[in-house]
Amino acid sequence: MQPAKDTLAWMYEKMVTSRRFENAIEKIYMEGKSPVFNMADGPIPGEMHLSDGQEPVAVGVCAHLNPEDVVTATHRPHHQAIAKGVDLKKMAAEIFGKATGLSGGRGGHMHIFDADVNFACSGIIAQGMGPAAGAALSRQIQGKPGVAVSFIGEGAANQGAFHEAMNLAAVWKLPMIVVVEDNAWGISVSKEASTAIQRNSDRAAAYGIPGHYIPGNDPLKIYEVAGEAIERARRGDGPTLIEIETYRLAGHFMGDAEGYRPEGEKDGLFAKDPIPAMRAKLLADGQFTEGELDALENKAQAAVDDAISFARASADPKPEDALTAVFA
């Protein structure tokens, strides 16, 4: 299953949008945080986890999804939010803590929620597994269309929530797909130091469901495998577990010195940056001209510029708003 040209254009544009958005956020995040770094300072306080390098995972999967499909993501969610269609202006405002944000500035970048496109994320490891299974169960019981996709990191596959949700999804044949983004590092702990099995996709056998491993951070291969898994879920044939080798080009969080990485590792990862690699492939295959890809990049940059301008210009929440949207 190879994507049509319009789908390829969408995939490339969303990958570039995610990268350009995070480039802008990275620069703004550091405002007011020097000469002494304090994550509470500047226009974007708090932690910041960038998804540079992991864009193929988001577009390869989300290219097959519709607004009624549910996505749960991790503390590193921007690429998936953008690919799922989350409002970029409102997401930027939420990251800035502004009143015009998706949650009025209450959630920040690790708690992005957009009901219009059924997207949510959390800073708790493997937290999205249960809600994704619940969303899939609700659609199954009510006979409504839609599947649920839970994106998790490779470290989350060692959490109890992963195994509990996978077991129930298999028992009930839920329309659910679990996508493990294997960037090799759980914060500063390598996969080989934390996980007894080389590939988490092999764990699918314990639940009697298909498991797929995709090497090389290849957006087209991800598109192919994800399409088959999502179609399987839509037919009512149950869940699928997919693990994807991807690359975290940034640190775990902004300010991470990354002293745990072996010497030369990051240079090797930058040499495999998926965005220039995809551009080169699209040109080499003759599917796009330089001008067409430049136009997609310009469109992506314009959307990012608009979103950042909107966020900067938006008002801060009123102090009394802290008492709204809470349970008494």
Q: Hey, where are the domains in the chain? A: 5-256+264-316
What pLDDT, on a 0 to 100 scale, did the predictor assign at position 44? 96
What pLDDT, on a 0 to 100 scale, did the predictor assign at position 281? 97
254: CB partners within 8 A, 6+ apart: 26, 29, 30, 39, 47, 48, 49, 50
Residue 324 has pLDDT above 80, yes or no: yes
Residue 157 has pLDDT above 90, yes or no: yes
Average pLDDT over residues 148-158: 97
Beta bridge partners of 212: 242
What pLDDT, on a 0 to 100 scale, did the predictor assign at position 328? 65
Q: What is the chain's alpha carbon radius of gyration, rounded to the nearest angstrom?
A: 19
pLDDT above 70 covers a percentage of the chain that reads 100
How confident is the model over 71-127, as pLDDT tens digits? 999 999 999 999 999 999 999 999 999 999 999 999 999 999 999 999 999 999 999
Question: Taking the model in full, what pTM does it have?
Answer: 0.96
Which has more pLDDT, 80 or 1?
A: 80
Using pLDDT thresholds of 50, 70 and 90, give the confidence band for residue 192. very high
What pLDDT, on a 0 to 100 scale, did the predictor assign at position 34? 87
Are residues 255 and 26 in contact, defined by beta-carbon separation less than 8 angstroms? Answer: no
Residue 327 has pLDDT above 80, yes or no: no
Residue among 275, 177, 181 nearest 226 (CA): 177
What pLDDT, on a 0 to 100 scale, did the predictor assign at position 322? 86
Beta bridge partners of 180: 152, 243
What pLDDT, on a 0 to 100 scale, did the predictor assign at position 326? 83
Q: What is the domain class of 5-256+264-316 according to CATH? A: alpha beta
Q: How far are the Cα atoms of 51, 123, 184, 264 from residue 188, in angstroms, in the given order?
A: 16, 16, 9, 16
Residue among 74, 72, 151, 150 nearest 117 (CA): 72
Q: How far, in Å, CA of 56 to CA of 98, rounded?
A: 29
Residue 229 has pLDDT above 80, yes or no: yes
Residue 55 has pLDDT above 80, yes or no: yes
How confident is the model over 230-263, as pLDDT tens digits? 999 999 999 999 999 999 999 999 988 999 999 9
Are residues 296 and 8 in contact, defined by beta-carbon separation less than 8 angstroms? Answer: no
